[in-house]
Amino acid sequence: MLGEAWAQLTAGGLAVCADGSWVLGEAPKPSVPAAVRRAVDERSSLEAHAARRRVWWVTAPDRAEPGGIQMVAWAREGRGWGALLRGWSALLSRVIEESSTADGLTAELINAWDRLTFLYDLAKIAGRHTDLREMLEAIVRLLARVVSVQDVMLVVARPEGLASFTASGSEVPLPEVLVGSVAGANRPLALEEVRPALERAGSPLAWSGDLLVTPLQGPGGPGALGLVNPPTDRFDAHDVQLLASVAEQVSALIEAADTRAEREKNQRLEHELEIAANLQRSLLPLRLPEAPNLRAAAYLRPARRVGGDFYDAVTSDTGAILLLLADVAGKGMPAALLTALVHAVFISEAADRADPGDLLQVMNRRMFPDLDRAETFVTAVVIRLEAGSPRFAYASAGHMDVAVWRGTEERIEFLPASGLPLGIEPEAAYRARTVPLAAGDEVILYSDGVTEAEGADGTLFGSEGLSAIISATFPAQAADQIRAIVAGLDVHRADRPLRDDVALLLVKVGEENGDAVRPFVLPARRASVSDLLEMARQAIGGLEFAGNRAEPQFVDEFVLALSEIVTNQIQHAYLGQGGSIEGRLTIGRDQVSADLFDHGVLFQPLGAERPAVDPANPPERGYGLRLARALLDECHYTRRGDGRNHWRLIKRAKGATSP
Amino acid sequence: MRIDVDRQKGRPAIVRPVGPVDVDTASTLRDTLRQMAEEGGESVIVDLGEVEFIDSSGLSALVSGLKALRAKGGMLSLSRAHPQALTALRLTMLDRVFPIFPTIEEAVKQGPTIP
Asked if B91 lies within 8 A of A630 by C-beta distance, the reply is yes
Q: How far off is chain A from B21, nearest CA to CA, in Å? A: 12
* 3-class SS of residue A223: strand
A431-475 tens-digit pLDDT: 999 999 999 999 999 999 999 998 888 889 999 999 999 999 999
Query: What is the rounded CA–CA span in Å between residue A563 and residue B55?
Result: 8
Cβ <8 Å between B92 and A612: no
Q: Supply the angle between the helices A81-95 and A102-128 in degrees, to the nearest 10.
A: 130
Residues of B in contact with A620 (CB under 8 A): 60, 63-64, 67
Nearest Cβ partner for A624 among B24, B56, B93: B56
B67 close to A (CB below 8 A)? yes
ipTM: 0.87
Q: Which of A526, A616, A627 sits opposite B88 (nearest CB)?
A: A627
B37 backbone dihedrals φ, ψ, rounded to 5°? -65, -40
Element (H, E) at A554: helix A552-568
CA dihedral in degrees (A259, A262, A265, A267; nearest 10)?
Answer: -60
Q: What is the mean pLDDT of chain A?
A: 85
Nearest residue on chain B to A566, alpha-carbon basis? B23
CB contact under 8 A, A626 and B115: no
At B26-51, the pLDDT tens digits run 999 999 999 999 887 678 999 999 99
**A1-124 fold:** Beta-Lactamase (3.30.450)
Spelled out in words, what is the top-level CATH class assigned to the domain B2-110? alpha beta
Count of Cβ atoms closer than 10 Å to residue A192 Cβ: 9
Residues in A closer than 8 angstroms to B91, CB to CB, are: 626-627, 630-631
CATH topology of domain A129-283: Beta-Lactamase (3.30.450)
Q: Does any CB of chain A come closer than 8 Å to the CB of residue B31?
A: no
CATH homologous superfamily, domain A515-659: Histidine kinase-like ATPase, C-terminal domain (3.30.565.10)
**Closest approach of chain A CAs to the CA of B45, in angstroms?**
18
Does B23 touch chain A if contact means CB atoms closer than 8 Å? yes
CB-based contacts of A351, cutoff 8 Å, min separation 6: A314, A315, A316, A317
What are the boundaries of each domain within chain B? 2-110
Mean pLDDT of all residues in A289-314: 89
Contacts of B98 in chain A (CB under 8 A): none
**In angstroms, what separates the C-alpha of B3 from chain A's closest C-alpha?**
21
Which residue of B24, B91, B115 is in closest CB contact with A631?
B91
Contact A623 B92 (CB under 8 A): yes
Torsion sign (Cα): B15, B17, B22, B24: negative
Q: Is the pLDDT of residue B113 over 60?
A: no
Backbone angles phi, psi at A187, to 5 degrees: -155, 165
Beta-carbon pairs below 8 A across chains A and B: 58
How would residue B66 be classed by pLDDT, with cut points 50, 70 and 90? very high
Report CB contact under 8 Å: B115, A618.
no
- Does the beta-carbon distance from B84 to A560 stay under 8 Å? yes
Per residue in A334-367, pLDDT tens? 888 899 999 999 999 998 888 999 999 999 999 9
| CATH 3.30.565.10 placement within chain A | 515-659
Contact (CB<8Å) A626/B66:
no
pLDDT-based confidence at residue A244 (cuts at 50, 70, 90) = confident
Rounded Cα distance, A520 and A645, in Å: 16
Ramachandran area for residue A248 (φ above 0: left; ψ -120 to 50: alpha; else beta): alpha
In whole angstroms, what is the distance from residue A620 CA to residue B103 CA?
26
Q: What is the pLDDT of residue A54?
A: 83
Q: Are A419 and A360 in contact (CB under 8 A)?
A: yes
Q: Above 60 in pLDDT, residue A609?
A: no
Quick check: B91 and A564 CB within 8 A? no
CATH 3.60.40.10 fits A287-513, yes or no: yes
Query: In this predicted structure, what is the pLDDT of residue A102?
Result: 43
Mean pLDDT (whole number) for A128-133: 78
* DSSP-based three-state secondary structure for A129: coil
Q: How distant is the Cα of A335 from the closest Cα of chain B, in angstroms?
A: 48
pTM value > 0.90: no
Compute the CA torsion angle A618, A624, A630, A632 (nearest 10 deg).
180
Q: Does A567 touch chain B (CB under 8 A)?
A: yes
Query: What amino acid occupies position B53?
Result: F
Residues of chain A with C-beta less than 8 angstroms from the C-beta of B22: 563
In one-letter notation, the amino acid at residue A605 is P
Provide the CB-side half-sphere exposure for A212 (13 A, CA). 25
For residue A487, CA distances in Å to A101, A141, A450 come to 84, 63, 11
Three-state DSSP state, A96: coil
Kindly determine whether residue A626 and residue B56, on different chains, have CB atoms separated by under 8 Å: yes
B88: closest chain A residue by CA: A627
Residues A566-596 have pLDDT tens digits of 999 998 889 888 889 999 999 888 899 999 9
| Torsions phi, psi for A180 (to 5 deg) | -65, -30
Inspect the interface and report whether the beta carbons of A618 and B97 lie closer than 8 Å.
yes
